[in-house]
């Protein structure tokens, strides 16, 4: 393990102890014995926040630990049903109230990116940030043409911090994969690798601007979601400029209620937006915590969502998309056997798993939650039960679906806050059924064939030459068929290990025998040679045999 990783793990323990979060240090077990050394640090005892409420201390610790930990707190904050109320309230402050860096520093960064002064780029620029998050902060400004905009600026040094913490995550994942019983099934290294791609993408604001443009195009003409306009001439890798929207934060329930907002429609539209993005567009906003969602209430009877912060978006492989839609519809229809079959067909469970056993297990989990409002469903218990089933059937975690699962959890958490009686199944099923009908329609099939026609024509063009070459090789006895056989490959690997072990045993035995012969003949000029031969022989024999 790298020295930098060990130093960071020690720093994490120090920060937890600094804020009096001793239970977390004991729970992690990492370097727990060294916590007594931190007790000697004045920083641990003189911290003015040491006597603050538990929730405040937890938030402050996450803020001090940096972007990755802040994002973890943001994700937790959307699940008020899983957290004590004081912790949920405090973690919600991480959504857009992370301590900002100085506005003068933001001005310097913008000028470095533009190669000109801020006063030349904008007619107005407010150094007091509108909001500050873990990776960037936002300032209000006005373009020379008078349009109100927001300017998003990356935090200075954030790339180095994230790179260091990713090393820590990879080190922990490697330990989990090698030494944790569930490591191989849960694939922690692949999970961290997926997260690495996601958070690295967040550091490129040009990519975020492109995401925003795509999402705006997808919902053009829709009354479900409004996406602000991007001003490309003012966008750089570390600076982005977008239209400023005037909406009410979705977390401001009191103000929305006072305006007479239709919460039921708002909650249902949230579900519609999610399923439309995932299945119809195959491009979804994957960071839908309350700090990134506003509500436009020009007409309280028809409220409209407005989204910001497009650094994290997700897409699905068409195969995963198909299986997910089929799974959702099978659950909606209570066709548990189909759910089981889909898991086997998709390869998410080991080959040979009995379909009837999976069917029975899924029925046991899903049946109790039907025909009940969201407020009566314990998704915490449901997740625990599903995890138990996945462990029982050795279901491999699908890293490519993590963003989707995270977004679905956020959407469900928002729905619970807005309208606890929301019927998720009733709202989502029509969207999925329509998508499946369109996907299997003759028009869509013809459209797919037309899109693939250039590849088909090219394949038909080169096919005669390929067949001719294969026939010539066959006539000359040079045709070989390469077949992937995992079992045979495993056998070959075991044979190679056996050969290496045999060779090592021979060498070790020779060294051992040589030492014995020298000892018997009494010809060793220096006893060290004899001892070396004996020691090397024994070491090689013991190492290779055991």
* SS3 labels along 169-204: HHHHHHHHHHHCCCHHHHCHHHHHHHHHHHHHHHCC
The DSSP result for 359-407, as a single string, is: HHHHHHHHGGGTT--GGG--HHHHHHHHHHHHHHTTPPP-GGGHHHHHH
pLDDT of residue 543: 36
What is the 8-class DSSP label of residue 97? B
Superfamily grouping for domain 103-156+204-313: Phosphorylase Kinase; domain 1 (3.30.200.20)
Q: Using the structure block, give the residue that is written with the tokens 């005669």.
A: 464
Closest CA to 149 of 239, 211, 230: 230
Count of positions (residues) in the chain: 546
pLDDT of residue 241: 97
Say how far apart CA 247 and CA 130 lie, in whole Å: 13
Beta-sheet strands, E only, within 417-520? none
Angle between helices 318-332 and 336-345 (to 10 degrees): 160
Backbone angles phi, psi at 176, to 5 degrees: -65, -40
Q: Where are the alpha helices (DSSP H) in 237-366?
A: 253-258, 263-275, 318-332, 336-345, 355-366
- What averages of pLDDT result for each successive group of 10 residues across the chain (546 residues)? 72 78 58 52 59 84 81 66 72 75 95 94 95 89 96 92 83 73 68 79 93 96 93 95 93 92 92 90 85 91 93 85 82 85 78 84 80 59 59 64 69 76 78 83 72 75 76 66 52 54 43 39 38 37 36
Exposure pattern of 455-474 as b/e (b: 16+ CB <10 Å)? eeeeeeeeeeeeeeeeeeee
Domain boundaries, the chain: 3-94, 103-156+204-313, 316-439, 496-545
pTM: 0.69
Say how far apart CA 297 and CA 83 lie, in whole Å: 30
Cross-strand partners of 249: 294
State how far the alpha carbon of 333 is from the alpha carbons of 145, 328, 346, 426, in Å: 55, 9, 20, 11
- In this structure, the strands spanning 225-226 and 248-249 are unpaired
Please list, in sequence order, all residues whose beta carbon lies within 8 angstroms of the beta carbon of residue 511, skipping any fewer than 6 positions away. Answer: 533, 534, 536, 537, 540
pLDDT of residue 228: 96
pLDDT of residue 526: 37
CA angle 312, 317, 321 (to 5 degrees): 95
Q: Are 229 and 307 in contact (CB under 8 A)?
A: no
Q: Are 109 and 239 in contact (CB under 8 A)?
A: yes
pLDDT of residue 16: 77
Closest CA to 195 of 239, 165, 152: 165
Please list, in sequence order, all residues whose beta carbon lies within 8 angstroms of the beta carbon of residue 22, skipping any fewer than 6 positions away. Answer: 16, 35
Say how far apart CA 458 and CA 518 lie, in whole Å: 73
Closest CA to 10 of 36, 30, 39: 30
Determine how many CB atoms are found less than 10 A away from the CB of residue 239: 23
Instruction: Tell me which residues are annotated as active site.
Output: 287
What is the 8-class DSSP label of residue 395? P
Q: Are 315 and 283 in contact (CB under 8 A)?
A: yes
- In this structure, the strands spanning 131-132 and 313-314 are unpaired
Backbone angles phi, psi at 145, to 5 degrees: -85, 0
Determine how many CB atoms are found less than 10 A away from the CB of residue 384: 12
Backbone angles phi, psi at 124, to 5 degrees: -140, 145
Starting at the edge strand that comes first in sequence, how are the strands of the sheet with 248-249 ordered? 225-226, 304-307, 293-296, 248-249
């Amino acid at each position: 393990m790298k020295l930098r990783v060990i130093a960071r793990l020690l720093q994490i323990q120090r920060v937890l102890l600094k804020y009096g979060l001793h239970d977390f240090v004991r729970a992690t077990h990492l370097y727990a014995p060294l916590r007594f050394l931190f007790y000697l640090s004045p920083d641990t005892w003189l911290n003015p926040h040491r006597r603050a409420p538990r929730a405040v201390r937890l938030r402050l610790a996450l803020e001090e630990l940096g972007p990755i930990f802040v994002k973890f707190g943001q994700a937790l904050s959307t699940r008020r049903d899983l957290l004590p109320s004081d912790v949920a309230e405090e973690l919600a402050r991480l959504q857009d109230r992370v301590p900002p860096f100085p506005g003068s520093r933001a001005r310097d960064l913008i000028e470095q990116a533009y190669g000109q002064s801020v006063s030349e780029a904008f007619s107005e620029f407010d150094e007091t940030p509108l909001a500050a998050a873990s990776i960037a902060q936002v300032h209000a400004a006005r373009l020379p043409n008078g349009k109100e905009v927001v300017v998003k600026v990356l935090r200075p040094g954030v790339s180095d911090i994230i790179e260091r913490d990713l090393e820590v995550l990879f080190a922990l994942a490697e330990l989990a994969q090698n030494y944790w019983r569930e490591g191989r099934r849960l694939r922690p290294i692949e999970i961290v690798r997926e997260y690495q791609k996601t958070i690295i993408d967040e550091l490129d604001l040009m990519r975020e601007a492109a995401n925003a443009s795509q999402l705006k195009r997808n919902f053009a003409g829709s009354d479900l979601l409004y996406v602000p306009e991007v001003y490309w001439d003012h966008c750089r890798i570390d600076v982005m400029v977008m239209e400023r929207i005037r909406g009410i934060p979705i977390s401001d329930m009191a103000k929305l209620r006072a305006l007479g907002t239709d919460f039921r429609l708002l909650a249902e539209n949230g579900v519609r937006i999610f399923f439309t993005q995932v299945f119809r567009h195959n491009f979804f906003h994957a960071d839908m915590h309350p700090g990134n969602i506003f509500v436009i209430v020009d007409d309280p009877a028809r409220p409209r969502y407005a989204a910001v912060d497009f650094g994290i978006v997700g897409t699905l492989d068409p195969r995963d998309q198909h299986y997910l839609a089929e799974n959702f519809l099978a659950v909606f229809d209570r066709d548990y056997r189909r759910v089981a079959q889909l898991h086997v067909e998709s390869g998410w469970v080991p080959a040979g798993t009995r379909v009837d056993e999976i069917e029975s297990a899924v029925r046991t989990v899903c049946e109790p939650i039907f025909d009940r409002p969201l407020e009566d469903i314990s998704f915490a218990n449901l997740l625990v039960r599903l995890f138990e089933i996945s462990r029982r059937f050795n279901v491999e975690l699908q890293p490519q679906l993590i963003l989707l699962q995270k977004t679905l959890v956020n959407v469900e958490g928002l729905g619970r806050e807005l309208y606890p009686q929301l019927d998720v199944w009733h709202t989502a099923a029509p969207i999925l059924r329509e998508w499946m009908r369109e996907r299997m329609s003759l028009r869509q099939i013809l459209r797919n064939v037309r899109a693939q026609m250039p590849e088909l024509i090219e394949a038909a063009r080169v096919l005669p030459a390929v067949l001719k070459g294969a026939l010539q090789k066959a006539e000359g006895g040079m045709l070989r068929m390469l077949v992937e056989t995992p079992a045979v490959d495993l056998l070959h690997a075991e044979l190679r290990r056996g050969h290496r072990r045999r060779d090592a045993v021979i060498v070790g035995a020779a060294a051992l025998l040589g030492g014995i012969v020298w000892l018997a003949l009494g010809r060793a000029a220096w006893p060290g040679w004899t001892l070396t031969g004996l020691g090397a022989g024994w070491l090689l024999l013991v190492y290779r045999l055991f």
